[in-house]
Amino acid sequence: MDATTCVRAVIIDLDGTLMDTAGEIVEAMDRTLDELHLARVPSGEIRAMIGRGVRKLVERVMERLGAAGADIDAAVLRFEAHYAQTVGTRAALYDGAMEGLVRLAQGGVKLGVVTNKPRFFTGQLLERAGVDRFFAAVVAGDDGHRRKPEGDMLLAACRALGTAPAETLMLGDSDNDVLAARAAGCPVWCVPYGYNEGRAPETLACDRIVATLDEAARVLRAAV
């Protein structure tokens, strides 16, 4: 039996899969570095550092600048303060995202979001994009679970959705998502347009590459 016929829920990654958030993350980081009197990092490099949460992003930027003596805790607080001002101001849903959400919801597929981003920023993004109503489960990076690439956050989402991992599809854009899905026992598809920490999408060891969220929805609906 095709595994797509067993899917009852879809968990979607936020940054790089559902929404393009890189621009406002870069803006917040630029402001942070300016305050710290450090050189700015090219936006393309910051984009490649996105995916493992705020603290990891700040650590990577400081390492890139050779700022070994930087107070990471203080830098994280500065970044979060600036990001609170930029979050949801420039981010946009990817092409096909809204259509895919509607199609899945109409088909009775349960939807969740799992992201390493803190809950405050996650809520702001989903609400401002007008898609928060679609999600029965949202698991964020500061909810107390081990973060992706561990499988704990996906398992928490499955419990909230009331579905088994084997019938819960993870849709992501990075190796981080693939590893988390494998650890949780979820099938995993990926989109080719996300961040993936600067690596090519064809390197992803996922079950399928889909061009958009809407394509994923069409495939799932056709299999029912």
Residue among 135, 140, 148 nearest 184 (CA): 148
CA separation for the pair 191, 196 (Å, rounded): 10
Cα atoms in the Cβ-side hemisphere of radius 13 Å centred on 26: 15
Q: What is the CATH number of domain 3-20+91-223?
A: 3.40.50.1000
CA separation for the pair 61, 57 (Å, rounded): 6
201 pLDDT above the threshold of 80: yes
How do residues 62-87 score in pLDDT, each as one tens digit? 999 998 778 999 999 999 999 999 99
- In the three-class reduction of DSSP (H, G, I as helix; E, B as strand; rest coil), residue 139 is classed as strand
Give CA 100 to chain center in angstroms.
Answer: 16
Cα atoms in the Cβ-side hemisphere of radius 13 Å centred on 41: 24
> 13, 15, 173, 177: which one is catalytic?
13
- DSSP class of 11: E
Residue 224's pLDDT is what? 61
177 is a catalytic site residue: no
Domains of the chain, residue spans: 3-20+91-223, 22-86
CATH class name, domain 22-86: mainly alpha
How do residues 1-58 score in pLDDT, each as one tens digit? 356 669 999 999 999 999 999 999 999 999 999 999 999 999 999 999 998 889 999 9
The gap between the terminal CA atoms of the chain, to the nearest Å, is 12
Residue 140's pLDDT is what? 97
- DSSP class of 211: S
